[in-house]
Structure 1
Amino acid sequence: MTTVRVAVPRKGRPLEAVFERLAARTGTTDLADDVISTLQYEKAITKGNQTAERDVYDRLSAYSDTDDPLAPEFTLLRDDRAGMPRRIVFDSLTLDLDGYDLQLVGREEPFRALRTHEFALGFDSADLVLEEVVGLDPEPLTGLDEVNERIDPRDTDVRIVSGLGDTVWHTLLATPETRRQLDTDLDRSFVDTYEGNLCISPRYERLVEAVLGTDAIEGIEFTYPDEGAVEEAAIAETGLGVYLTVTGSTAHDYGLELGERLFPSETVLLENTAETTDATERATDLFVGADLETKLAS
């Protein structure tokens, strides 16, 4: 039987989004809930919000049922940050579907695994695509449907197929004092006129350049939060910034006003177009069939 291997994140919200979509399409709700709850529990232990009665190796042995080839498997991930313990993360799962096996394989960087042609399909954050391969342009990048047009085909064969809808937003934030400096709404036109400091996370520098456009950031100097600082607090100190928001409640807590939603940050299905087969097309349709999403890639 044909096996279609799909690279997925090892932990976090993107992996949960994949399992939620898989459950909706295959009816494997109990399986998805089990994987998600296990990883959330392990995250709580890692962060010190939960106390475990068994050591990490006993838990790992209990989670991975080696006698069942269709059961999810987990593994230990070494966290390189100082003082952080090893963490149990997702490793793999194989589902017997109609005419083929679907194997989800955990990777630290699924997008990069597709770029090296290790996989034909995978899921990762749209943010990483912007950070890695999207070309910078004077005009702003405003949505997922524009991303593939900004990817140089000489650079990579990977394209976005569709988003999964687990959206948070890269949002323009400002203090009332900064916003009142210019007679315009808090949107891209504000940044285009503004000159001064703009506080962002250092891991999003290229992304912010892409979604604002290179013309708009002329006269802008990026600043970054100090290590361990709350991003919204750093933006409030700077006066203007870009950060991820869901409800914006934390931004309001620091006296910030919410401006334009610049770009959606969500989990996306990716394909390496050079590795596409009839089998991978079937797996793609499983996740983003015509009844759910419209493909972005041609």
Structure 2
Amino acid sequence: MGERIPIAVPRKGRPLESVLDRIARRLDASKLADDVTSTLRNEKERTKNELEKSPADVYRRLAEYSDVDDPTEPEYTLVRDTRSGHPRRIVFDSVTIPLDGVDGVADDTEVQLIGREEPFRALRTHEVALAFDSADLILEEVVELRPEPIDRIADMNARIDPADTDVQVVTGLGDTVYHTLLATPAVAPASASLDRAFLDAYEGSLCIEPRYERLVRAVLGTQTVDGVEFCYPDDGREEEAAIAETGVGVYLTVTGSTAREHGLELGEQLFPSETVLLESPPEVTTSVARVRSLLDGADLETELAVSR
């Protein structure tokens, strides 16, 4: 007899799309992944572009999208959106994926994807054995701060204090963007690289997002940030604009085009930000281990290579 294996996943955005892509490729669920992705992208556009004004409309669409009678069809829910005029947003809630016919998996085994605002915390409290979440959240919460920097996701497990949590990183999903060192030409070194060595000698303000302070301390190492004073963008101000005013900062970049538009030079890519598969080893049964192996694999294009 099989069992249902719950996996906590993000509710929306790029991380959820990366998880759905992985699920589609490994569990033969392409239609499901496409349906959820297209639905949530449409809802994001409605929220962003104010396509719907009546509060009743969002409840009507929620009822149309969700199938509460068939767990193998996706169900959605509402969350509060912080932007003015858009108090409710439709996000992913749950779906069950049968694994009938999958080699090595017991009959009637199912995977249940459960949407969470912060899947990592559901894992820490032992609600689930597996979860997908951003590697950033681990740096922000449980990776030990040390004088030496950390520059690879693969090194994170060794920096997690087992007395704090038993959560471990299994693998990454390859949706990589980077925490990048940025500076104006007036501050960037004229004849050297804009990199960690520059920050070692730098003293002054470093503009970052407030929630990334612990992450930046872990990535740079506490020795490097000696003499550095963190400052933060004013509420509602674009991060790159705030960094340009400060002169130097760290922010997530994909192409770096927005940073260049603000006159910033792109320096070292300090740390990859990537969605990762996480596990709570005490909760990993034989069935869970088999599902975990289905979601892992050499076909992943990722910054992460965790040896276990």
TM-score (norm 2): 0.92
The reply on whether 1:195 has 2:195 as its aligned counterpart is no
Q: Does 1:58 align with 2:60?
A: yes
Identify which range, 58-67 or 213-222, moves more after superposition: 58-67
Q: Does 1:93 align with 2:95?
A: yes
Give distance in 2, aligned partners of 1:244 and 1:257.
Answer: 14
Instruction: Calculate the aligned-residue CA RMSD, in Å.
Output: 1.7
Match of 1:255 in 2: 263
2:191 and 2:203 map into 1 onto residues whose CA distance is 14
Whole-Å Cα distance in 2 between the matches of residues 47 and 173 of structure 1? 28
Aligned length: 297
**86, 104, 111: which one pairs with 1:102?**
111
Corresponding letter in the other structure for 1:93:
V
Match of 2:279 in 1: 271
* 1:194-213 → structure 2 map (5 Å cutoff): 194-213=202-221
Distance 2:127 2:276 in 1: 18
2:163 aligned partner: 154
Q: Is contact 1:160–1:297 with CA below 8 Å preserved after alignment?
A: no
Deviation of 1:183 after TM superposition, in Å, equals 5.0
- Give the partner amino acid of 2:200: D
**How far apart, in 2, do the equivalents of 1:79 and 1:204 lie?**
22
1:164 pairs, out of 166, 173, 181, with 173
1:77 aligns with 2:85: no
Name the residue aligned to 2:22. Answer: 21
What TM-score comes out, normalization by structure 1 length?
A: 0.95
2:289 equivalent to 1:289? no
Moved more, 18-27 or 133-142: 18-27
Is contact 2:66-2:73 (8 Å) kept?
yes
**What are the ranges of 5 or more consecutive residues in structure 2 without an aligned counterpart?**
none
1:24 counterpart letter in structure 2:
R
The 8 Å contact of residues 174 and 300 in structure 2, kept in 1 or not, is answered as no
Give ranges in structure 1 of 5+ residues lacking alignment. none
Give the Å deviation of 1:51: 4.0
Shift of 1:235: 0.3
Contact 2:173 2:300 in 1 (8 A): no
Tell me, yes or no, if the aligned pair for 1:148 and 1:297 is still in contact at 8 Å: no
Measured in 1, the distance between the counterparts of 2:50 and 2:251 equals 26
State the partner residue of 1:126.
135
| CA drift at 1:58 | 1.0
SS in 2 for 1:226: coil
Q: Which moved more, 1:261-270 or 1:42-51?
A: 42-51
Give the whole-Å Cα distance in 1 for the aligned partners of 2:240 and 2:246.
10
